[in-house]
Amino acid sequence: MLLEAAAKEVRSHGHQALTIPTDVRDPKQVETLVQKALEHFGTIDVLINNAGLYISGPVEEFSLDDWHQAIDLNLWGYIHTIHALLPHFLERKRGTIVNVSSIGGQVPIAYLVPYSTSKFAVTGLTRSLHGELAPKGIHVGGIYPNIIKSDFMERAIFRGKNADDFQARRDQVDQVLKVPVVEKPEDVADAIWDAVKHQHSEVLVGSANLSKASYNMFPGFMQWVFRKTFQLKDKQA
């Protein structure tokens, strides 16, 4: 299990680790997580929100359940953990919250509409919290990676006009993940540490810097690029 493997590595460096599998979509499970962590460690200094679900396809092909899955995990999961832990941070007048978002939360991407919607919401959540909580001693920062070479495909949702379109979307992401320059989880971890250590409000990871700069300079052109990139078998677009 990945969680136990991570805990084992932490302990190998002489540090404590407590693993509590939690569905962050369930506020009661999140409250239990925070309570057990505080009982074990006494205090919590940093909250890192990193749960996420990738979802791709023509917007008309998504069911309401697809929308809920994306927003319940990508947005409400973050709200639940922040809501549960914020009283502890406010009482101590210190703490750090890091929300791992996506370049899809800074740049609108066609054919990733539920995903991009949830990530833009995380960006708004992060920036608003940063403005309000900074005077209270609580730092809030956001991390914005591009696609990461990880196991996210195991849970990703793909929808298509037909079976060929569905498969083409999976194959497209599989091919991108094989590109050597695609960022790795370690790159995101470094960005998180950078945000915590230097109290950065936003950290773009690797190629996300180019995506953001290109969109800022040529928004119309980049919208066209994203649309053509993810259109695939949706020939009506």
Q: Please say whether the beta carbons of 60 and 162 come within 8 A.
A: no
Catalytic, 115? Answer yes
* Residue partners of 175: CB distance under 8 A and separation at least 6: none
Q: Please say whether the beta carbons of 111 and 58 come within 8 A.
A: yes
- Active-site residue among 54, 78, 115, 144? 115
Beta bridge partners of 48: 98
* Residues 211, 188: Cα–Cα separation, whole Å: 16
- Exposed e or buried b per residue across 51-60, where buried means at least 16 C-beta atoms within 10 angstroms of its C-beta: bbbbbbbbee
Q: Which positions are catalytic?
A: 115
